[in-house]
Structure 1
Amino acid sequence: MSGHARPAIAARLNASSDGELVYELNYSQRRRRGAFPVYVKLPVDVIGPTAQTIRRKKAMAQSFRALAAAGVEGVVMEVWWGLVEREFPRIYNWQGYLEIVEMAKRFGLKVRAVMAFHQCGSGPDDLFWLKQHLVYREQVLRIFVWEVVSGIP
């Protein structure tokens, strides 16, 4: 990816008074008349842990190419706030997510962003959830209750 495309998107993001990224393509010409638009959800871990870059860029580019060829309208990505505001409060790093928008744009795909403010791995429906966390919490709770009931300080 060239270093020239990202600043143009970032400038549009910063120039907006309400922080909204203005990016909208016309409806796909591939879409059949009267058909419903289809959006495909991106993997949860599409962005690396520092939010600096897309993981597996070549594979993602091939996937976007295949989605565009199949007539898909766009993709849905989860924007993890914990990654965006990772370093300091009110310091936002959108770099990896802007790369996804730019890549989608190159293939004629739209992007829908879903803001994720919850903790990743915190529930059984979450891709990164580990049952061991729940077992560990239950053990800690049992120890705490035992200490309270038995009067152990």
Structure 2
Amino acid sequence: MKRKGQRGAVAVEFAFILPLLLAIVFAVFQFSWYISNYLMLTDAAAVGAHVLASERGYTKPYTDTQTAIFGVTKPLSGKPTIVASVGGVTCSSDSACQAALGTMTAGPATGAVANVSLTYAFSPILNTGLWDLTSMMPTQIKASMAEAIQ
């Protein structure tokens, strides 16, 4: 049996708990979005490193690497910044990558590695001022992969 003074107590308790529950739900949602973006960027770096490492003797190794990376990161809201290097030498054009990779008959030094590093400006999916949850999220995601040149 309820007393007259307890009417509405459940509604008051719910009003106290609701902001905390919403904060937890939004935090889980934001973190899931971040992990999804991170996994996509990591996969793109792996694909880019594989393509770059297998482009020895081709005419457009940097362009092919960019195309492969942008194909994987298509669902992202922006394009990542790409830094590619072959054997420790940064290459940002087809001619530079082609020279570093070598030809089919004269390859790079034994054990040379193709590296691809990506940087992406992360934007939270819930970009609201709700308890300033967006300030807890990172603003950039970085991924890097390396593969031996074939």
TM band (smaller chain)? under 0.3
Q: Tell me: higher relative CO, structure 1 or 2? Use CA pairs within 8 A at least 6 residues apart.
A: 2
More strand by percentage? 2
TM-score normalized by the length of structure 2: 0.24
More helix by percentage? 2
